[in-house]
Amino acid sequence: MKKIFFASLFICSFFRISAQEVVDFSQYFKEYDLEGGFFLYNYKTKSYQVSDKTDFVRATSPASTFKIPNSLIALEVGAIKDENEVIKWDGEKRWLPVWDKDHDLTEAYKNSTVWFYQELARRIGEKNYNKYLKACDYGNKDISGGLTQFWLGKSLKISPKNQIEFLVKLYEEKLPFSKRTFEITKRVMVREKTNDYTLRAKTGMATVDKVDIGWFVGYVEKQDNVYFFALRMQKPEEKQMPEFASRRIEITTKILKQMGIM
């Protein structure tokens, strides 16, 4: 009888954790002539609201959303001491003028400074990446695209579902990192803090096979609950849309506000 009870309890728990409600979020993307999906995980109810179950598990390049695990790994292995250690700019002019200066971890995360994280990658090394991506069960764990490029539209791929699963483990501190590493990374991740909530998040953007992919992933921590989200949208590369990057945040904010989360 006990065996039956525990088996039933396990099945019910598994179903509850895996429960997925399909919700039509398409109007938010159509408003800006975009295609994409939005995926939300309610920590208290252990349930998902997803725009499309197939898209939920489809993996693409994480782009700069990889700066979340990259920060964790860099801090853990000593590639950088803390969020205040400065790495000197090498003087090379890059795509965004805001990148062309010395950075610490907090600023590099906020500005999504590629050269800074590429320098961290050189310090981290392939052995550590292989170790921690496997231990974190992060995406397809494939770094064959090159030590300083694998997350930038190359070999590493991750689905919205796996993005959220990773963020939940980060929030719960159930990843192979020290308390100090978690604390620093969580401070760096803060995008907005009010009396009602704290938003920790990261954007990402890459072009793969002539398709521009935009990410916005993170979680909203409130007094009584935590909501984890992943937005991914895309457009043809040739379609001119200067505001593409900002739409990731605008669409996510609209959805979360309408749902009463922000």
**pLDDT at 6 exceeding the cut of 80:** no
Q: Is residue 40 part of a domain?
A: yes
**pLDDT at 239 exceeding the cut of 60:** yes
Q: What is the pLDDT of residues 37-64, one digit of tens each?
A: 999 999 999 999 999 999 999 999 999 9
**Which 3 state secondary structure label does DSSP give 37?**
strand
Q: What is the pLDDT of residues 191-235, one digit of tens each?
A: 999 999 999 999 999 999 999 999 999 999 999 999 999 999 999
Q: Is residue 73 part of a domain?
A: yes
pTM: 0.92
233 contacts 36 by C-beta, under 8 angstroms: yes
Number of domains in the chain: 1
Query: Which residues have a Cβ under 8 Å from the Cβ of 109 and sit 6 or more positions away?
Result: 67, 71, 188, 189, 202
Cα dihedral sign, 254-260-261-262: positive
Residue among 8, 13, 47, 64 flagged as catalytic: 64
Share of the chain above pLDDT 70, in %: 93
Tokens read off for 196: 């009602």
Packing angle between helix 179-189 and helix 160-172, nearest 10 degrees?
120
Q: What is the pLDDT of residues 105-119, one digit of tens each?
A: 999 999 999 999 999
**Which one, of 31, 103, 23, 26, lies nearest residue 71 by Cα?**
103
State the Cα–Cα distance between residues 184 and 194, nearest whole angstrom: 19
Q: Is residue 204 part of a domain?
A: yes
Q: Is residue 74 part of a domain?
A: yes
Q: Is residue 9 part of a domain?
A: no
CATH number of the domain bearing residue 178: 3.40.710.10
Q: Is residue 6 part of a domain?
A: no
Q: Is residue 38 part of a domain?
A: yes
**pLDDT at 7 exceeding the cut of 70:** no
Residue 64 known to be catalytic: yes
Q: Where are the alpha helices (DSSP H) in 112-178?
A: 114-136, 160-172
Q: Which domain holds residue 156?
A: 19-258
State the Cα–Cα distance between residues 232 and 68, nearest whole angstrom: 16
Q: Is residue 12 part of a domain?
A: no
